[in-house]
Chains A and B, each alone.
Chain A
Amino acid sequence: MFSYCTDPASLEGIAWLSCYLTTGKHFAFYGSFGTVAILLLITAPLALAFGFAGAIAARSSFLPVRWLGKGYTAMVRGVPDIIFFLFVPIALDQAFEWTRHQVLCPDWDQPVRQGSDFVVCNAAKLPLSSAPQWLHEGYGFALAVLAFSVVFGAFAANVLFGVMRAVPRGQLETAEAYGMTPRQSFWRVLVPQMWVYALPGLSNLWMILVKATPLLFLLGVEDIVYWARELGGSKTSAYAYPHPDWRLYYFLGLLVFYLMLTKVSEVVLGHLTRRLTHGQATAGGEAQRRAAA
């Protein structure tokens, strides 16, 4: 990056370190923090949406929909995460490619499954072999987000299913007494009040999600743990910057990052709890009212 970095072997001390920390590989490492952040920011709302839909389905009075909701939570909660993370993206990818194969190459005469090979015509590949690398990475990332959302959505669905029953019955009875339909009382009374009960369960899920991001590497996304391991491993003079095993320092850096992320999350969640407690018929809401009076 700097002009004096052309011959790293001749550098020492701070100059060497400044060059070392600004190699293309290190920028990929710094960039991967962004990857993790983007993953969290997309997955969290998407998982919440999955969870909300799952919880509503599980409460439905229409039996098949109820089965769907219950089945989704039971299945995903019962299967080990790691199996799901390996299965969902591969299955989705092959399902997409198979569908495209049927549509785009109708006169292909060879079977798609040949022994252990999964062979579709070139035009059906997703993304196409000729597509630039960033498109392949983006596609893999999207599959990863989807897998994370499905898994965490199932846990969120169970939390939300429980909290929909935790809102005091008196609140809903009052709504009914005002003449609200079940749909109106659900959206106007139950949903706005349930979040305060959901927060402890959902904040747990958020914390687990934060720590589950290294699983990204299973899905071929190069995340911060991958780069820390890759950069920290001992390097011979085949590399421009040879060094012994420095994984300890890189992982210490990750430790600090994750602790900071936890701290920030706790501050935000604490703030959110205070906001949601305001005016609620809970012990927390009562305490706030007394403090204000």
Chain B
Amino acid sequence: MKKLILSTATLAMTASFALAAGHGETVRMGTEGAYPPYNFINDAGEVDGFERELGDELCARAELTCEWVTNEWDSIIPNLTAGNYDTIMAGMSITDERDEVIDFTQNYVPPAASAYVALSADVDLTGGVVAAQTATIQAGYVAESGATLVEFATPDETIAAIRNGEADAVFADKDFLAPIVNESGGELVWAGEDVQLGGGLGLGIRESDGELRETFNAAIQSMKDDGTLNAMITKWFGPEALTF
């Protein structure tokens, strides 16, 4: 047992020396893994999607070693502040409410439209039942629109809810809904007008971690400046997606 403790301590010490020696700092990137095409678990069981590709590029530019971890959307902010990972990169919109608890980098996706999807285009969006994912800006918007809000833990369940009749419509990011509508074979259609919400997507970072925020801000800025960020947005969300 003593040996075990000793070797653990040695291990811990060598690791911290290694940290001090090089700039190979490890940053743990928290994501949801259930929001294609932003982030999802691919068929090999790894985190994939727009944010994976973007995050890896940002880490390469900032010379950080990044490790991806998944966490339930519900508890994604508390686990960041508790220090289980260092960033949130999970299609999270920059809002004032969240900004009180955590900090955001500058946005890496411009403020994009949210949209309603339903089985028919003429559903009652202000008096009916509308599904949204728990603790999203879309859920907040539906709650104030007068419609009855039903919340689900994962985005996929909100889509299942309109298919099985539990809700009349679903309200979510348009970029998330677009592939689902296109591949539904006419079963799902857009309803109502698009709505602009939030200040775009940003990386969530602990308020006490100002240095890491500046590092990512610089990396995002460099990608905005040389156009690679726009190219990546077009690649994942199609030519009609908003760019910088």
A12 at the interface (CB under 8 A from B): no
Distance in angstroms from B5 CB to nearest chain A CB is 12
**Contact: B15 with A130, CB < 8 Å?**
yes
**Contact: B45 with A25, CB < 8 Å?**
yes
**Interface locus among B32-40, B54-62, B140-148, B190-198:** B32-40
A:116-174 near B, CB below 8 Å:
116-120, 122-123, 125, 128-131, 133, 136
Q: Which residues of the partner chain B approach A3 to less than 8 Å between Cβ atoms?
A: none
A239 at the interface (CB under 8 A from B): yes
**Contact: B82 with A234, CB < 8 Å?**
no
A285 at the interface (CB under 8 A from B): no
B:95-112 near A, CB below 8 Å:
101
CA distance A288 to B152 in the complex (A): 55
Looking across the interface, which residue of chain B has its beta carbon closest to that of A90? Answer: B82
**Contact: A25 with B44, CB < 8 Å?**
yes
Count residues of A near B (Cβ-Cβ below 8 Å). 42
**Contact: A130 with B179, CB < 8 Å?**
no
Q: With A90-B82, A136-B69, A237-B179 in contact, do A129 and B27 touch (Cβ < 8 Å)?
A: yes
**Contact: A118 with B83, CB < 8 Å?**
yes
CA distance A281 to B12 in the complex (A): 57
**Contact: A239 with B159, CB < 8 Å?**
no
Distance in angstroms from A143 CB to nearest chain B CB is 11
A118's partner among B34, B40, B67, B81 (CB-CB below 8 A) is: B81
A:80-120 near B, CB below 8 Å:
90, 93-94, 97, 104, 110, 114-120
**Contact: A229 with B183, CB < 8 Å?**
no
Most chain A CB within a 10 A radius of its CB, from B13, B45, B71: B45
Looking across the interface, which residue of chain A has its beta carbon closest to that of B13? Answer: A123
Q: Mark B57-87, 1 if CB is under 8 A from A, else 0.
A: 0000000010101011000001101111010
**Contact: B42 with A240, CB < 8 Å?**
yes
**Contact: A234 with B159, CB < 8 Å?**
yes
B71's partner among A128, A133, A220, A229 (CB-CB below 8 A) is: A220
**Contact: A25 with B42, CB < 8 Å?**
yes
B36's partner among A23, A122, A239, A247 (CB-CB below 8 A) is: A239
Most chain A CB within a 10 A radius of its CB, from B12, B72, B79: B12
Q: Which residues of the partner chain B approach A234 to less than 8 Å between Cβ atoms?
A: 156, 159-160, 180
A123's partner among B16, B34, B46, B65 (CB-CB below 8 A) is: B16
CA distance A125 to B157 in the complex (A): 35
**Contact: A238 with B45, CB < 8 Å?**
no
**Contact: B71 with A230, CB < 8 Å?**
no
**Contact: B156 with A233, CB < 8 Å?**
yes
A236's partner among B25, B69, B183 (CB-CB below 8 A) is: B183
B83's partner among A23, A125, A217, A233 (CB-CB below 8 A) is: A125
**Contact: B65 with A130, CB < 8 Å?**
yes
**Contact: B208 with A24, CB < 8 Å?**
no
CA distance A129 to B68 in the complex (A): 11
Q: Which residues of the partner chain B approach A94 to less than 8 Å between Cβ atoms?
A: 82
Q: Which residues of the partner chain A approach B163 to less than 8 Å between Cβ atoms?
A: 245
CA distance A123 to B37 in the complex (A): 36
A279 at the interface (CB under 8 A from B): no
Q: Which residues of the partner chain A approach B12 to less than 8 Å between Cβ atoms?
A: 104, 123, 128
B206 at the interface (CB under 8 A from A): yes
27 pairs of residues in contact across A and B, judged by CB atoms under 8 Å: A24-B44, A24-B45, A25-B41, A25-B43, A93-B82, A104-B12, A115-B81, A115-B101, A116-B81, A118-B81, A118-B82, A123-B15, A128-B15, A128-B16, A129-B26, A129-B27, A129-B28, A130-B15, A130-B26, A131-B15, A220-B72, A229-B154, A233-B34, A233-B156, A236-B36, A238-B49, A240-B42
Extra 15 A-B pairs, beta carbons < 8 Å, given A90-B82, A247-B160: A24-B46, A25-B42, A116-B78, A120-B83, A128-B12, A128-B16, A130-B19, A133-B67, A133-B69, A230-B41, A233-B156, A234-B159, A238-B36, A238-B179, A239-B42
